Chain A
Amino acid sequence: MNTKFIQVKHRAAEEPGSCFAKVIDRAPLPIAEVRGSAHLLIYANRAFCSLFAREPSELIGLPFTDVVPGGPNCIPVLDRVFQTGEPASYEQELATDPDDSPWLYAMWPSMDAKEHPVGVIVQLTKAVSVLQNAAAINEALLVSALHQHELTAEAVKLNAQLEHEIVERKRVEAALHAANDRLGRHAGELEGIVAERTARLQDMVSELESFSYSIAHDMRAPLRGMEGFARILIADHTEGLDAVARTYLERIANSAARMDLLIKDVLAYTRVSRSESATASVDLDRLIRDVVANYPNWDPPFADIRIEGILPTVLGHTGFLAQCVANLIGNAIKFVATGVTPRVRIWAEECRPVPTGASLAGGRATLSGASAETPPWIRIWFEDNGIGIASKDRDRVFRMFERLNPADRFEGTGMGLTIVRKAIERMGGRVGFESTPSNGSRFWIELQTPAGTLPPPGPKGSGNENSADTPTRGE
């Protein structure tokens, strides 16, 4: 057996140039051949030599067990391969160094020409990387599997929760829907009730208004009686009366006249509150000049009224506007310090549309489209050189029956500006003022301007037209 070994060794050595020998020699894996009962190395390729950092001459002839780590343990496997002819592998754990990789020895028999086993070829692999990687991969797999499991569990939990939430949400939605329906029904009912009550209230208010209107109206007839008879006594029966009696009669007549003024103002207020307030184009310039012309005691030298430029056409109600202008100019002239000639200056200017009581959004809308679509608003100023209004009285100015000044100095009913405010409100406009005490006041009214050209109507005008139509009515 030993001789055979040596022979083979020689044969292999004798044929180094053979194709087979070259392939083995250059293989990147360490390969060696072992023969004989002493398990001597008879061949080692380059990779094998460089693995153990020895020259082939140093290795050949050495017992296998002396060269490779764990060689003795491997011998039984080696022998079995030789005896059975079946390839086998052996793994060498290196307990001393857990970091060092274990060795994997793949072994298969080497045969002679007659297919008899003559030795064993060993191929060494540092199983290292494979195993460690496998372990790492395994671990990673395990971890990820665990992870996945956890995730799945979590997902299942989440799903369940979600499902629950969906059910809950659907329930809430249904409840909301039902509540909405109920609310809608309630709102409808409420609206109905509100509309009904509003209608009833409106009826009551208009009934009350017409009641107070006729009362106020009927009160004027007896007043005319008091005033008239007192005047007749004064005018025609002076001989029978002394000075004191005449004074009393004067007072009766004056009181009656004052009361009549009050009733007239209440009636004017009721009128601007109740009448149809449909607005139309009003030639403000003509209206104001007409009003001024109608009051002889506003003419110079009693007062100096200046209308600057030509006032524009506005959207308003002729009757209401005439009333407002008369009251504003009347006030401007009335409330001056003794000995001062009243001076009133009236002018108009365009202003930004300020919707009364409108929402902010509405205001923005009108502001943005002011120049293009909505016609401009007009502010008419009435400036006087009067006694002015103290800032503490600001809030009282437009209130009914409020009088800021004593009656013995300035006659009045405390209704004038209340009527103005009501009339302006009903025309959809605004009214306000600026004032410094003893330095005059500047009252203003703001009105819309008509969008297009409208026919100039008027209560008197339509009355005349109607009267001209009467003949056809008689037929």
Chain B
Amino acid sequence: MSKDTILLVEDDPNSVYFFRYALGKLRIENPLQVAKHGLEAIEYLEGVGEFANRERFPVPKLVLLDLRMPYATGFEVLEKIRSCLGRGKVVVVVFTSSSSDSDISQAYRLGANGYIVKPSQLGELLKIVQSIRDFWMTLNETHPGSLSWQNETSLESGSGPAQAREPLG
């Protein structure tokens, strides 16, 4: 269980550094993978290009998703995940510094499982990372079975919709 991967989608290197620092401080052993922007996140989840090796780049149990990023925004990543992987397979928690109502409702509309506003102080970050590990990586149960990325074309052929309609695990 502790070997489940976390994918942090974050373009700010400081934020990545602090997150890693927090994991280290809290002795959380889950491997952390980082996508530096939205497009990289989609490629990672699709398992294409340099991410084809699932041994090295395993499908994450949790995606922590920043919203404002180059190439593809967090919303675009979220939309892609929900249309290609369905619900309940991958837990997506938005992790952003925006606390605007419109961002929050947009995130939920697109199928986010949670929404956490980034803290401004390191001390708070440590508490939040601990909570994320405790809840999303430990207590929370995800949809059983293996993950398969279904591109939109194959979805339309009829193999995907049932999966897409699955309720939340």
B165 and A475 within 8 A (CB): yes
Q: Which residues does chain A contribute within 8 Å of B53, judged by CB atoms?
A: none
Most chain A CB within a 10 A radius of its CB, from B12, B14, B86? B14
Interface positions, chain B 106-127, Cβ under 8 Å from A, are 108-112, 118, 120-123, 125
A459 within 8 A of B: yes
Q: How far is the CB of B105 from chain A (nearest CB, A)?
A: 4
Given B21, B108, B164, which contacts A475 in the complex, CB threshold below 8 Å? Answer: B164
Interface flags for A375-419 (1: CB within 8 Å of B; 0: not) read 000000000000000000000000000000000000000000000
Interface positions, chain A 450-475, Cβ under 8 Å from B, are 459-460, 462-464, 466-467, 469-471, 473-475
B121 and A467 within 8 A (CB): no
CA distance A267 to B117 in the complex (A): 14
Most chain A CB within a 10 A radius of its CB, from B21, B98, B121, B125? B121
Q: Which residues does chain A contribute within 8 Å of B123, judged by CB atoms?
A: 231
Q: Which residues does chain B contribute within 8 Å of A221, judged by CB atoms?
A: 12, 14-15, 97
B165 and A224 within 8 A (CB): no
Interface positions, chain B 71-86, Cβ under 8 Å from A, are 82-83, 86
Q: How far is the CB of A413 from chain B (nearest CB, A)?
A: 14
Q: Which residues does chain B contribute within 8 Å of A225, judged by CB atoms?
A: 14
B104 and A463 within 8 A (CB): yes
CA distance A382 to B108 in the complex (A): 36
A471 and B164 within 8 A (CB): yes
B14 and A257 within 8 A (CB): no
In the complex, the chain A residue whose C-beta lies closest to that of B13 is A225
A257 and B87 within 8 A (CB): no
B101 within 8 A of A: yes
Q: Which residues does chain A contribute within 8 Å of B111, judged by CB atoms?
A: 467, 470, 474
CA distance A260 to B124 in the complex (A): 14
Q: Interface size bucket, A side? A: 20 to 34
In the complex, the chain B residue whose C-beta lies closest to that of A274 is B100
Given B17, B97, B105, B125, which contacts A220 in the complex, CB threshold below 8 Å? Answer: B97
A352 within 8 A of B: no
Q: How far is the CB of B159 from chain A (nearest CB, A)?
A: 14
Q: Which residues does chain B contribute within 8 Å of A231, judged by CB atoms?
A: 121-123
B18 within 8 A of A: yes
Given B97, B98, B165, which contacts A474 in the complex, CB threshold below 8 Å? Answer: B165
Q: Which residues does chain B contribute within 8 Å of A276, judged by CB atoms?
A: 101
Q: Which residues does chain A contribute within 8 Å of B169, judged by CB atoms?
A: none
CA distance A221 to B119 in the complex (A): 10
CA distance A319 to B121 in the complex (A): 23
B18 and A464 within 8 A (CB): no
Q: How far is the CB of A217 from chain B (nearest CB, A)?
A: 7
B70 within 8 A of A: no
A228 and B18 within 8 A (CB): yes
Q: Which residues does chain B contribute within 8 Å of A267, judged by CB atoms?
A: 99
A33 within 8 A of B: no
A224 and B109 within 8 A (CB): no
B122 and A459 within 8 A (CB): no
Knowing A220-B97, A224-B14, say if A470 contacts B161 (CB, 8 Å).
no
Interface flags for A238-271 (1: CB within 8 Å of B; 0: not) read 0000000000000000000100100010010001
Q: How far is the CB of B127 from chain A (nearest CB, A)?
A: 13
Knowing A231-B122, A471-B87, say if A462 contacts B105 (CB, 8 Å).
yes
Q: How far is the CB of B151 from chain A (nearest CB, A)?
A: 14
Q: Which residues does chain A contribute within 8 Å of B167, judged by CB atoms?
A: 471
Most chain B CB within a 10 A radius of its CB, from A459, A466, A469? A466
Q: Which residues does chain A contribute within 8 Å of B98, judged by CB atoms?
A: 217
CA distance A459 to B164 in the complex (A): 26
A474 and B164 within 8 A (CB): yes
Given B104, B118, B164, which contacts A224 in the complex, CB threshold below 8 Å? Answer: B118
In the complex, the chain B residue whose C-beta lies closest to that of A220 is B97
Q: Which residues does chain B contribute within 8 Å of A224, judged by CB atoms?
A: 14-15, 18, 97, 118, 120-121
A227 and B112 within 8 A (CB): no
Q: How far is the CB of A445 from chain B (nearest CB, A)?
A: 21
CA distance A248 to B99 in the complex (A): 31
Most chain B CB within a 10 A radius of its CB, from A223, A464, A470? A470
A466 and B87 within 8 A (CB): no
Q: Which residues does chain A contribute within 8 Å of B110, judged by CB atoms?
A: 470
Knowing A231-B121, A475-B165, say if A464 contacts B104 (CB, 8 Å).
no
Q: How far is the CB of B108 from chain A (nearest CB, A)?
A: 4
CA distance A257 to B83 in the complex (A): 40
Q: How far is the CB of B114 from chain A (nearest CB, A)?
A: 10
CA distance A463 to B98 in the complex (A): 16
Q: Which residues does chain A contribute within 8 Å of B122, judged by CB atoms?
A: 227-228, 231-232
A275 within 8 A of B: yes
Q: List 6 A-B contacts (CB under 8 A).
A: A220-B120, A221-B15, A264-B120, A319-B101, A459-B105, A474-B165
Interface residues of A (CB under 8 A from B): 217, 220-225, 227-229, 231-232, 257, 260, 264, 267, 271, 275-276, 319, 459-460, 462-464, 466-467, 469-471, 473-475
Q: Sorted from nearest, which 8 A-B pairs have the closest CB atoms?
A: A467-B108, A225-B14, A231-B122, A463-B108, A260-B120, A463-B105, A228-B122, A466-B109
Apart from A260-B121, A271-B100, A471-B165, 18 more pairs, CB < 8 Å: A220-B120, A221-B12, A224-B14, A224-B97, A228-B14, A228-B18, A267-B99, A319-B101, A464-B108, A467-B111, A467-B112, A470-B109, A470-B111, A471-B87, A471-B164, A473-B109, A474-B82, A475-B164
